[in-house]
Amino acid sequence: MFYRELENKRVRCELCPRGCIIANNTTGFCRVRKNVNGILYSLNYGKAAAIAIDPIEKKPLFHFAPGSQCLSFATVGCNLRCKFCQNWQLSQEFDEVYGEEIEPEHMVELAMENGVEGIAYTYTEPTIFYEYAYDVMRLAKKNGLYNVWVSNGYTNKDAVKRVSKYMDAINVDIKGDERFYRTMAMVPDIRPIFNALKEYKECGVWIETTTLIIPGYNDSKEAIENIVLWIKKNLGESTPIHFSAFHPDYKLMDIRSTPLHILERAYSIAKNMGMRYVYIGNVFGHKNESTYCWKCGNLLIKRYGFHIVSYNERCNACGEEIRIAGKKWMKAR
């Protein structure tokens, strides 16, 4: 899907904004889409390289189907080259495309057999296993399951629009400014990411965002303010924002873990700018894992890590009701 034939058996991939021009018998930037005699093939279709059952809160999605479980899976490959990737073995450092052969029908059967409420397309970038995800998603919807993506947002508009018909929620990483994306993830132009976010919103997909705070790279007051300002202006003040702690990994082993006070500063910046639902992630037991009434500050959803300890949608102090999507998939409380 999403490619154009060129002369001399070359093709242009039009799935993501890179627009790779791929010569015959070679792959694009993501290494999982190959040109064979002028036809672009998905090498990772039906090849699940990682699969697990997770709580929806792990994605993280805090305002979509709280307390539900999802079958999570991924293939190898990615259309970014993040130096701080937490799943670099899957996304970048693989010698060949590998994975367990699980056809879309079987993936949905696994979800049904395990009694989960939905399927998450995560761990690596779902865009690069688009055809596989798309076919699973169509079957999942027919069987009453939800579909959620955890994505870098680097997807072309037409692909966003087509997959949104079967997508219920998405968490998109907003990593930093253009210089950060260029030097840390090999993204030459960040505008398509923000255009994709606006398209998801236009299509009615529930959106939450995550920013991994890396000390010395994207933790300045200005950087946080710019991210929050864009979210508030384009996605709305009720969009949940997650600020997550960085831990040394892959090519950033020499960078310290994110100090708690930097995460708390980011949280305060977003709250002071009028965002209603702001969270601190990767710090288990922190009070800002939980959801508070945006009007009066009363505790409504108490979390510990990825688990819900207590749950209230409506504030018993002021009567304000928080925004929760995907309620039909919530487990009985």
258, part of any domain: yes
The domain total for the chain is: 2
For 211-246, write each residue's pLDDT tens digit.
999 999 999 999 999 999 999 999 999 999 999 999
Task: Mark whether 13 and 150 lie in a shared domain.
Answer: no
User: Measured in whole angstroms, how far is the alpha carbon of residue 111 from the centre of its chain?
Assistant: 20
Q: Kindly give the parts of the chain with pLDDT less than 50.
A: 333
Question: 120 and 64, same structural domain?
Answer: yes
Domain-embedded: residue 89: yes
- Residue 147: per-residue pLDDT: 98
Q: Do 25 and 138 share a domain, yes or no?
A: no
3 and 65, same domain (yes or no): no
pLDDT at 333: 46
Same domain, 114 and 219: yes
Cis peptide before 17 (omega within 30 of 0): no
Residue 128 and residue 134 in contact, taking contact as beta carbons nearer than 8 Å: no
Residues 10 and 158 in one domain: no
**Same domain? 230 vs 202:** yes
Do 35 and 109 lie in a common domain?
no
> Do residues 53 and 164 share a domain?
yes
pLDDT at 331: 74
Task: Report the Cα 115 to chain-centroid distance in Å.
Answer: 23
The pTM of the whole model exceeds 0.75? yes
Say what the pLDDT of residue 248 is: 94
191 lies in a domain?
A: yes
Structural domain containing residue 180: 44-289
Q: Is there a single domain that holds both residue 71 and residue 123?
A: yes
Is residue 112 situated within a structural domain? yes
Cα–Cα distance, 212 to 230 (Å, whole number): 17
Q: Given this model, what pLDDT does residue 259 score?
A: 97
**Residues 110-136 pLDDT 10s:** 999 999 999 999 999 999 999 999 999
Report the CATH number that the domain containing residue 277 is assigned in CATH.
3.20.20.70
For residues 270 and 217, membership in a common domain is answered with yes
Q: Let me know whether 30 and 115 are in one domain.
A: no
295 located within any domain:
no
